[in-house]
Amino acid sequence: MSTDLTGTVALITGATSGIGKATAFALAARGAHVLVGGRNAARGEAVVTSLRASGAKADFIDVDLGSSDSARELARRATELGDGHVDILVNNAAIFPMGPTASMAEDAIDAVFAVNIKVPFVLVGELARPGGRLHQTRSPQPSPTWPPTTPASFTARSWLSTAAAQRPDEYQDRCQPPSSTATSPPRPGR
């Protein structure tokens, strides 16, 4: 069964490749105006060009999500491109430096929490609006290799569940369980 999303605006972070890109195409196929968020302008523009060639309405927002300010700017630009609203938020952008946890530098830990926890939190706060509904899709854990009981996963799930409970008229949280998805392997510099 297909859901008609005509008239809705969907913002997907990390939509220039992999799961985010596939999500952009899936939502566009259902009629959503897709806002492709990403930090690689060439890949972002290529995704938008391809979406438009298929008849979809799509725009690229060049953003490197590493702070509350970058999330607020993304929300502002998305709202502007979405004619005053964003209806669907897919917080797909995430990072996790590879290597032993015990030797991870503090700035790397801070970056993980900024991109994976703080930015989604700020985006929801900026995009949820009175009288509207914001549907967010997320993974129940930051990475398939992290157990679902890690502090980061617990923090994200607790916060998102609380937001949905406190503002059910404005916010819905949909948790997408992890599954096997074929995407391109990571490339250096990503």
Model confidence over 51-110: pLDDT tens digits? 999 999 999 999 999 999 999 999 999 999 999 999 888 888 888 888 888 888 999 999
pLDDT at 19 exceeding the cut of 80? yes
Quickly state the pLDDT bin for 12 (edges 50, 70, 90). very high
Residue 91 identity (one-letter amino acid): N
Q: Give the model confidence (pLDDT) of 116-130 as tens digits.
A: 889 988 998 888 876
> Which pLDDT band, with edges at 50, 70 and 90, does 172 fall under?
low
Give residue 6's pLDDT band: very low, low, confident or very high (50, 70, 90).
Answer: very high
Coil vs helix vs strand at 11: strand
- Domains of the chain, residue spans: 9-175
Q: Any residues with CB less than 8 A from the CB of 43 and at least 6 apart, and which?
A: 16, 17
Q: Which fold has domain 9-175?
A: Rossmann fold (3.40.50)
E strand or H helix at 44: helix 41-53
Q: What is the pTM of this model?
A: 0.76
Residue 50 has pLDDT above 80, yes or no: yes
Q: What is the pLDDT at residue 30?
A: 95
Spatial distance between the Cα atoms of 84 and 66, rounded to a whole number of angstroms: 24
pLDDT in tens, 118-169: 998 899 888 887 666 666 655 544 444 444 434 444 444 444 555 555 555 5
Q: Which of 66, 128, 94, 91 is nearest to 13 (CA)?
A: 91
What is the 3-state secondary structure of 74-97?
Answer: HHHHHHHHCCCCCCEEECCCCCCC
10 Å Cβ neighbour count for 174? 12
Residue 177: count of CB within 10 angstroms of its CB: 8
Query: Which residues touch 5 (CB under 8 Å, ≥6 apart)?
Result: 27, 30, 31, 32, 88
pLDDT at 167: 52
**pLDDT higher than 70, residue 45:** yes
What pLDDT does 99 receive?
81
